[in-house]
Structure 1
Amino acid sequence: MGACSTCGNDYDKTFAVETADGTHLTFDSIECAAHLIAPACAHCDCRILGHGIEASGTIYCCANCAQHSGVEGAQDRVAT
């Protein structure tokens, strides 16, 4: 199928991903896909593999990182 878009490994079991803007990418592993296309937290720079928290157009991996960046009221849980 081709070489991985992240690491360049030419592997017979790659998979293709089409991004929202129509770009076609090829990967040999989920790890390489996450490294290249998952958004990064604006505070700690880790890759966000879940929903994360978005405030004023900026995405964070968790409420703690959002709070450290000055976002008020960010919570990972809401009391019921």
Structure 2
Amino acid sequence: MAACEVCGNDYDMTFEIHAQGAVHTFDSFECAITKMAPVCEHCSCRIMGHGVEANGSWYCCAHCARKAGETDIVDRVGAAHT
């Protein structure tokens, strides 16, 4: 058994995520997301999808990137800026 590095639960079904040369142990996807998902620079939500990167900052969507001043980001080709 191994303990989750977020909640400390000692669980027989933990899993490992290998990322950037480190190994992380979790008991649920919720704990893995809490530890590993980036945070949107505008609204502070966890980015669980692909997100949007602009000038070294991460955003959950094009709307948040635009609100933070990134004027060229759109959700899809042909989308209107709002």
> TM-score scaled to structure 1, two decimals?
0.92
Alignment of 1:39-78 (within 5 A): 39-78=38-77
Equivalent position of 1:3 in the other structure: 3
Task: Return the alpha-carbon distance in structure 2 between the equivalents of residues 31 and 58 of structure 1.
Answer: 23
Letter in 2 for 1:60: Y
Letter in 2 for 1:11: Y
Residue-by-residue CA offset, 1:15-55 (whole Å, 9 max, x unaligned) = 011111x1111000011001100111111111111111111
Measured after TM superposition, the shift of residue 61 of structure 1 is 0.4
Task: Return the alpha-carbon distance in structure 2 between the equivalents of residues 34 and 16 of structure 1.
Answer: 13
* Structure 2 unmatched ranges of 5 or more: none
> TM-score scaled to structure 2, two decimals?
0.90
RMSD of Structure 2 on Structure 1 (CA): 1.3
Measured after TM superposition, the shift of residue 77 of structure 1 is 1.1
How many percent of aligned residue pairs carry the same amino acid? Answer: 54
Measured after TM superposition, the shift of residue 3 of structure 1 is 0.4
Question: Could you list the runs of 4 or more consecutive aligned residues of structure 1 that deviate by over 2 angstroms after TM superposition?
Answer: none
Count matched residues: 79
